[in-house]
Structure 1
């Protein structure tokens, strides 16, 4: 099994598990991350994002090879879309998930780009874009 495959399976498992947490035991923690300026009920946002995370996790685990680059781009876009919640948690000093200091919340911000890169690398999304450019279809 390649490092890329292991990375994709690990990310899929992580996402599916986080999504399950959204829907069950960690719901209040996730609600604390929803910025006050979001014009939707916080619980609805948490449930919706949890469903998306479970589906993305399953897609990373089960999607056939030819569709994995698309799943990678969707997962990367999801990580970008939820980043404002992480920024809000830092700016407002909201404690959640054991992040009880500005330093801990700031360090967490550094991991969001890692998740984007991880999604693109582990699904071959970057490789697919580069390959399409080499054969003149880009």
Structure 2
């Protein structure tokens, strides 16, 4: 394997690219909403055991989402690396979704345990989407 493989992204299909752009727009919009219109809703997802001010967590995660979303949109050359970082971010915020369920916190229209349970599988789907749409999973598998 030559050293250029780490800088040259794997070829992705049109549907993967469209999915990556959609995920980038989604993350950028979600990040902006952390800082503005949905700030209170996101507070419901910060577990009480997090040893940092909940509002600060919402603000920082909003900035991170904006950065990740823009990275998906603009850093084509490094999209596989960005895909892994986005997937890791989705793993790191998953405890907030679980806390919302366990603590029966209403937010984003999730006002029942059933709705909060049904939301949980969406997080693994986002992880898969991040890895698939960026070619990160394929790149990892082909380098094994």
For the criterion TM > 0.5, the same-fold answer is yes
Q: Secondary structure at the match of 1:96?
A: coil
- The answer to whether the aligner puts 1:83 opposite 2:100 as a matched pair is no
Q: Distance in 2 between matches of 1:96 and 1:44?
A: 18
* 2:59 counterpart residue number: 47
Q: 1:9 aligns with which of 12, 17, 21?
A: 21
| CA RMSD, Structure 1 to Structure 2 (Å) | 0.9
* 2:80 counterpart residue number: 69
Q: Distance in 1 between matches of 2:68 and 2:76?
A: 14
* 2:124 counterpart residue number: 113
Q: Pairwise mapping of residues 13-52 of structure 1 onto structure 2 (< 5 A)?
A: 13-52=25-64
What TM-score does the superposition give when structure 1 sets the normalisation length? 0.94
* 2:70 counterpart residue number: 58
* 2:108 counterpart residue number: 97
What TM-score does the superposition give when structure 2 sets the normalisation length? 0.90
Q: Distance in 2 between matches of 1:85 and 1:16?
A: 19
Q: Secondary structure at the match of 2:105?
A: coil
Q: Distance in 2 between matches of 1:19 and 1:76?
A: 16
Q: Distance in 2 between matches of 1:64 and 1:6?
A: 13
- The answer to whether the aligner puts 1:124 opposite 2:135 as a matched pair is yes
Q: Distance in 1 between matches of 2:142 and 2:46?
A: 38
Q: What stretches of structure 1 move > 2 A for 4+ residues in a row?
A: none
Which segments of 5 or more consecutive residues in structure 1 lack a partner in the other structure? 134-138
Paired residue total: 132
